[in-house]
Structure 1
Amino acid sequence: MKYIFILCLVIFQGLEAYCQNNLEGFIKDEKNNPIPYAIVQLTETNKTVRSDAKGKVVFKDLQEGTYTLYVDFLGYKPITKKVVVSANTNFLIVLQEDIQELDQVVVYGKTAATLLREEAYAVEVIETEGLKNSTVDASQLLGRISGVNIRQDGGLGSSFDLSLNGLSGNRIRTFINGIPMDYFGTSLTLNNFPVNQIEGIEVYKGAVPIHLSSDALGGAVNIVTNHKPINYLDASYSYGSFNTQRASVNAQYHHKKSGFTARIKSFLNHSDNDYKIDVNLLDFESGKLDENTTEVKRFHDAYTSKMAWVEAGFMNKKYADELMFGVLISDNFKEIQQNPYATGTPAFPVGEAFSKEEKLIYNFVYRKRDLFVKGFSINSYLVFVDALANNVDKSPNRYDWYGNYKADAHPTTGEMGRKSDFTMNTENLLGNLNGEYAFANHHSVAINYSLNSLTVKGEDKYQPQNNTQFSNPNTVDKHVWGASYTYSVFDDKWSTIAFAKKYYYNLFAIQSNFQGTESTDFIYKNDALGYGIASTFKLKHFQFKTSYEKAYRFPESYELFGDGINVIPNQELLPEESDNLNFGIKYQTLRANNYQIEMNLFVRNTKNYIRFEPKMNRSFYINDPKVVSKGIDVTTSYIFSKKFTASLAGTYLDLRNNDKDQIVYNDRLPNEPYLFGNMTFVYNQELPKKQMLSVTGISRYVHQFYLLWPSLAASESKSIIPSQLTFNIELTYTFQESKYNLSLLCANVLDNKVYDNLNQQKPGRAFSIKARYFIQN
């Protein structure tokens, strides 16, 4: 019996060895870059697989013998190779580019943006390669995505608000290469960031990955700039209506042998913003407003911003993919035409008040894939921000809408309220360390730590309240730890990410009474645990996504401390807490004529919702106990033979007060659009001698929405912001292989009267022209 058992064991082990031979290999191009999703067929067995994101291919449980591998990938020449399989066999197949095929068909390759879209997170990606000649900025690009609504009070440099699936403002974090953008100040925001500095924009709807480590409540926007190890020069200048000028110069030098890299990003933006608006003029004798409107030109609304960002270091070395040190200098100056939180257009414009800001920023970045061991990657940054902001409202003069003024009309106050010349100094230290380890083909873990330490101090030449409150430093400290685990099965068709985030928050603030004669220290500490899961399943032409996140957001410095003039402090704001649920489905064909449609359902159940309460010069932020947001966004697009693209995006949002103890229970939140969408058409025509002509048309619609709480509105006509319909058209001409580029834009072609945030009138028809020069090697 003993010998029979030994014999059976030997036979079993022999069969196991016989049947469990593996064949593993990689598919790469001639530059040693992996080719993902290539078709690899084992002819003798009829087994067919696709290479993974790293170009890897695995065939399991093969018998020993000789097999034929057939590899095909569109844009490359197919190849056949014989391999002999024994215990474990490895191979490497290098595909050659098929130039003739590239000229005739659409390449079915998966770009980094495509791979990101296929992750479990609900994420949209804007690729800007074909948009860098446009005169638009980052915020206008974002407005083309379903679920995203960009609202701006006026022209260039005016305050704006980004809304994403029912959440807006600071609830949606914005980043530049993973660094929180809001700490860069008003001179570097989405509505003045030039598009030709952007490689792509990632928009996360709902759950936010841990490497974007901040207390985002339900979404994030990450702007990715060019980090390729190449030499290039990219310069552009545009001029448009209202004396709007934008200039940008970006350049990089990279020495391949040493890896030394130096780059500069810079821009200059200016606009007089002297567009025409309709005003109910005041009759000074009767003290009544004219029932009929009169068209006047804005006269004190100019804006100028400048930025230069210089970085130097090393790229593509064994010790670092990127190791860079940088210095960024920026400033902006904004004339104030009217109180930014006024409802509609006031009778008296502002003629002398202004705000300005200066920033000095130091940054360090380190990134490395396969550090020490294969599969381990690290990304990190350290940023120090030194900012000085000055808000001035001290003129005693009273202006009318024709620029005339009455001297010393209010000698004890400024034009918008209490006289003020407030200077605020902010120091901010930001740090992030993210490590990720792919320890098996379908498993990876990540851990992240984020630091945000803020100190605010200031003085006011006129207001004792500001002096008392900011005479000593006010501090805010945030620490966020994050961890995630990713698992994929069924050849990466099903992928799931589970994650958790631990938040620590410390606030020290000085509270002062209105007269500035009394002060008290305010200390608040809190910690919270956030967590979530995101999953996606791909099935031929379909992809399904679902995610849930328990998210937290702690108040920001502007919400806590105000601006010293129009926004008063409220250090007692509570952190927001939200349960976010997303479900999405996408259908896509993979042919030269590509059609896709994507639908996303979302629910946001938020506690202690931080909402802005506009009260002219006494505006402030408050907590609404319960707010629920439910909605759907849909995107569909069609690409015909690379020449014609049409897309349609629409969003319906139901954002309501959910506190049964309030009189406005179940009301829609005021000043929040709930139905909006856009339609885009692009036609590209190739011309002789490698020239290209493109025509882009964009139409945007926003349905009328409530300015005030519907239950409390005294007059329905005054409580509704009217519907908006605009149409833009742009022509772009490129020649000499895109070295020279020229664009012409007409915005609001039909010159419709458009009102938006707080019923502020936006510019009418406007024209602009942009010239761009680009060269690389």
Structure 2
Amino acid sequence: MYKSVLLFASCLVLTLHVQAQSIHGVVKDSEGEAVPGATVMIVGTGLGSAANFEGVYRIDSAPSGRQKLKISAIGFEEQFVELLVKAGQSHQVHIDLEASSTSLEEITIVGKSEATQVREQAYAVSVVEAKALKNSSADVNQILNRVSGINIRQNGGMGSNFNLSLNGLSGNRVRTFINGVPMDYFGSSLSLNNFPANLISTIEIYKGAVPIHLSSDALGGAINIVTDTRAMSYLDASFSYGSFNTQTGALNGQWHDKKTGLTFRVKSFYNHSDNDYPIDINILNTETGNLDEETTEVKRFHDAYSSQMVWAEVGVMNKSYADELMVGVVLSGNYKELQQNPYATGTSAYPVGEAETQSDIKIFNLSYRKKDLFVKDLNVRGYAVYLDANEEYVDTSSNQYDWFGDYRPDVHVTTGELGRKTHFYLNRTNFLANANAEYAISSNHNLSVNYSINRMELQGRDDFQPQNNTQFSNPNIVNKQVTGLGYTHTMLADRLSTTLFAKNYDYLIQSNIASYDGEETEFFETKENRLGYGLASTFFVNDNFQVKASFEKAFRFPESYEMYGDGLNVIPNPSLEPESSNNYNVGIRFNSISQRQNQYMFELNAFVRDSENYIRFEPKLNRSTYVNDKSVLARGIDLALRYAIRDQFSIGFGGTYLDLRNSDKASGLYGDRLPNEPYIYSNLILSYSISNLLGLEDQLTITNINRYVHDFYLKWESLASQDKSVIQSRLTNDLQLTYSLKNGRYNVSFLVSNMFDAKVYDNFNQQNPGRAFNLKLRYFISKN
């Protein structure tokens, strides 16, 4: 059904009539970023167009003869361009606007894109603009893995477990958000490894100190995915197909009426992969009971994954009482076959052939934002979200499979394939709300306040395990409240900016711990209150060169499943303590601003993460648990370089060195690197574009992506065996070709991942897919 709707929508929009005699192009600023809303008018005719959120404008039915274009945008110098319009022809005119600096009562207004404004904050923050990636087949994980300071490790193909590390801290210490809403509560059908690039405008990566409007107990940073919410009408449809029967589709559209402000918005996607890629296995010899010394190539046969989401919203935009007021509903689902225990180290001798998980989620959301509410310079925004998720975990088979898909029946009569038999139903409800207000007391003083609440209840039952019935028969409750206060002061003509902030954390968790046989239970309640604080400061030496420094005393409280288990493979540890960290960042940023010359970008960030009661996961199959390490110290540096020749050629490099060690002097592991944590990784990206290749308002872009991860210990360094406890270094090479017609209206992309078919082992020493191919088609149209 989803594919039929997608195909129908694509065919419908392809029938739109295109005027041959037109003027079109892209409006950019001096840094090469799009200028949405820029107005391009033909002087003396009344004909014109406003640039969409990718900077693209188009004027149809342009009169013949010599014409003059007037280009204007708030914060930019007005510009005029003359051209000769010939009958029956289409004319491409790209425009570069220069930022204006206008002094009005000692207030300086400089035209900058939203992405540039975020980059120039005092926080250590990187911004990824997805407009150049919308034609690729990459998900958010793959995009983030190209950012310096970030390393993402996966257990396998699409839908597999993954671990994200940001400047030395990983897992739940790094919080993810969608438009400021915490993403980790949305479930596996809305995660970074299945969220397509089509739905994204920008990705903000905060390394270390986190601004108060992203209100959560983030210990080591935050990632905020910002979706397209501009007041315009558009349709964005795509479908891709690739190796291992991998299929992805996305349909993203919005209708906006300028007069009434009425807006309808839909975002949706579908993902599927059989994940039947070949892997190398040491086959178990059933006669000797030993593993073969030589490996055998087999295909994964029970690892399929599917997910889908539809997010519909209705409301108003650009009204006197609201810049945006939207209500919506999200429906999503997820299905995953299990090939082996998700916490297994290496490849299991006996694969899983029938166990599976699935979920369905309903989310209702309300969002509001308004600048200059009631009084000038009072900006407010907020959201409320209610989530109802049903998850199901099935492991009831008594069969024993081998890696060729054959099985012996009824071998595990009393147990399942992964442990005790289970058919576990878990219901999770969440209520999340956030309110944020910012007020400019004067041109140099700004005050902000934020409040958020997140209440979660877990309740479930198990057809086979009495322990789960007892532990989850009554709701397990987690309640978090965070109140934040921030103050920003600017001076020296806005060249120096400093933000001071404090966050108060209130935490309540109530749970029942059941005995192994499920006949006894013990009630636990934990209440905690912590005060976090920090500062972030930046100084502009000149227009090109910026220095940053930040500090935060941050806290993170254990999640319910970390303390009390998940009823499946993670056993309880109710003695877990909240973890805290002193986070330090110092960095510099240089960016040449002349679009008419070659561009240079240089960012260097040094960081320290001094953590106490560090919560670490210890994988032990169905007896895995979370533990506290008393003291952990992370020190490192990440570097980002980029060089570009106009819009034709660019080369970018990102590299990270991380020294993450046990710093508890009383421990026998003092000085050891933490296990299963890479410490050197980098990427090199080269891109070359050719415009007007066939004279059809087209562009061909060739991109080469290289990724390197140095080898690292799977277990504690002093305990590890060099032969079996090291995950080998990896070097992968991807090649992507993207061809666009009609200024990005029609797009086709071809991707070869892991082009040289390197053997890649990742999280828990799991083998990842080898060489893979993917073809993606995308259609985009917008109307202002």
TM range (shorter): 0.7 to 0.9
Structure 1 position 710, deviation (Å):
1.2
Selected match of 1:758 from 741, 745, 764: 764
Deviations 1:307-344 (A, max 9, x none): 00110011100000010000000010000001111110
Partner residue in 2 for 1:486: 488
Match of 2:324 in 1: 322
Give identity over the alignment, percent: 55
CA contact (8 A) 2:536 2:551 kept: yes
The yes-or-no answer on 1:690 pairing with 2:697 is: yes
Return the TM-score normalized by structure 2. 0.87
CA contact (8 A) 1:449 1:481 kept: yes
Relative to 1, partners in 2 of residues 1:268 and 1:490: Cα closer, same or farther, differing over 3 Å?
same
2:432 counterpart residue number: 430
Alignment correspondent of 2:53: none
Aligned twin of 1:382: 384
> Which one of the candidate residues 604, 625, 634 is aligned to 1:629?
634
**Residues 565-580 of structure 1 mapped to structure 2, 5 A cutoff:** 565-580=568-583
Paired AA for residue 135 in structure 1 = S
**Per-residue Cα deviation, 1:74-101 (whole angstroms, up to 9, x for no partner):** x98899xxxxxxxxxxxx9995343469
Q: Which residue of 1 aligns with 2:715?
A: 708
Of 517, 528, 531, the residue aligned with 1:529 is 531
SS in 2 for 1:749: coil
SS in 1 for 2:774: strand
Task: Give CA deviations for 1:140-192 in whole Å, capped at 9, x if unaligned.
Answer: 11111110001111000001111000000110000000000011100000110
Choose which of 559, 562, 565 in structure 2 pairs with 1:562.
565
Indicate conservation of the 8 Å contact 1:393/1:565, yes or no: no
For structure 2, which runs of at least 5 residues remain unmatched after alignment? 1-34, 40-68, 84-92, 100-110
Q: 1:513-540: CA deviations, max 9, x gaps?
A: 1111111110110100000000000012
CA distance in 2, matches of 1:297, 1:710: 32
**What is aligned with 2:625?**
620
Corresponding residue SS for 2:184:
helix
Secondary structure of the structure 2 residue equivalent to 1:289: coil
Q: Secondary structure at the match of 1:665?
A: coil
Match of 1:726 in 2: 732
Q: Deviations over 1:217-259 (max 9, x none)?
A: 0100000001101011111000000000001101111111111
Letter in 2 for 1:96: E
TM-score, normalised to structure 1, is 0.87
1:739–1:335 CA distance, 2 compared to 1 (3 A): same
- Whether the 8 Å CA contact 2:38–2:72 is kept in 1: the answer is no
Aligned equivalent of 1:652: 657
Alignment CA distance shift 1:232-1:471 (3 Å): same
Whether the 8 Å contact between 1:76 and 1:95 is mirrored in structure 2 is no
Assess if the C-alpha contact under 8 Å between 1:237 and 1:245 holds in 2. yes
Q: Which letter maps to 2:355?
A: A
Deviation readout 1:411-461 (Å, 9 max, x if unpaired):
100101111111111111000000000121111100000000011101111
1:23-70 CA distances to partner (integer Å, 9 max, x unpaired)?
xxxxxxxx99899xxxxxxxxxxxxxxxxxxxxxxxxxxxxxxxxxxx
Partner of 1:196, secondary structure, is helix
Equivalent residue for 2:742, pick from 733, 736, 739: 736
Distance 1:390 1:697 in 2: 41
Q: Is the 8 A contact 1:420 1:564 kept in 2?
A: no
1:771 and 2:777 correspond: yes
Q: Which residue of 1 aligns with 2:644?
A: 639
How far apart are the structure 1 equivalents of 2:683 and 2:517?
A: 49
Whether 1:549 aligns to 2:556 is no
Structure 1 residue 696: deviation in Å?
Answer: 0.7
Change (3 A) 1:433 1:301: same
Give the secondary structure class of the aligned counterpart of 2:293: coil
Instruction: Provide the secondary structure at the position in 2 that maps to 1:751.
Output: coil
Deviation string for 1:731-771 (max 9, x for gaps)? Answer: 00010221110000000000000001010000000000000
The residue that corresponds to 1:68 in the other structure is none
Contact kept, 8 Å, 2:76 with 2:98, in 1: the verdict is no
Q: Per the alignment, do residues 624 and 693 of structure 1 end up closer, same or farther by CA in structure 2, a change over 3 Å counting?
A: same
Q: 1:393 to 1:107 in 2, by over 3 A?
A: farther
Separation in structure 2 between the aligned mates of residue 77 and residue 415 of structure 1, nearest angstrom: 66
Partner of 2:108: none
The answer (yes or no) to whether the contact 1:376–1:436 under 8 Å persists in 2 is: yes
Q: How many angstroms apart in 2 are the aligned matches of 1:424 and 1:400?
A: 30
Structural mapping, 1:230-309, within 5 Å: 230-309=232-311
Q: Distance in 2 between the 1:131 and 1:345 partners?
A: 34
Q: What is the distance in 2 between the residues matched to 1:94 and 1:329?
A: 42
| Distance in 1 (alpha carbons) for counterparts of 2:145 and 2:565 | 28
Task: Confirm or deny: 8 A CA contact 2:77 2:97 kept in the other structure.
Answer: no
The structural deviation recorded for 1:597 is 1.1
Q: Equivalents in 1 of 2:635, 2:276: separation in Å?
A: 39
Counting matched residue pairs gives 695
Residue 601 (structure 1) aligns with? 606
Tell whether the 8 Å contact from 2:235 to 2:780 is kept in structure 1 after alignment: yes
The structure with the larger Rg is 1
Match of 1:217 among 210, 213, 219: 219
Distance 2:514 2:167 in 1: 37
Q: CA deviation at 1:558?
A: 3.2
Partners of 1:347 and 1:738 lie apart in 2 by 49
**Paired residues of 1:383 and 1:431 also in contact (CA < 8 A):** yes
Provide the C-alpha distance between the structure 1 equivalents of 2:533 and 2:196, rounded to a whole number of angstroms.
35
Which residue number in structure 2 is paired with residue 588 of structure 1? 591
The answer for unaligned runs of 5 or more in structure 1 is 1-30, 36-74, 80-91
Deviation at 1:292, TM superposition (A): 0.7
Secondary structure, aligned partner of 2:189: coil
Deviations 1:345-388 (A, max 9, x none): 01100000001111000000010000000000101000001011
> 1-side partners of 2:223 and 2:772: how far apart?
28
Corresponding residue SS for 2:576: coil
- State the Cα deviation string for residues 484-535 of structure 1 (Å, max 9, x = none): 0011111111000000000000111101111111111101101000000000
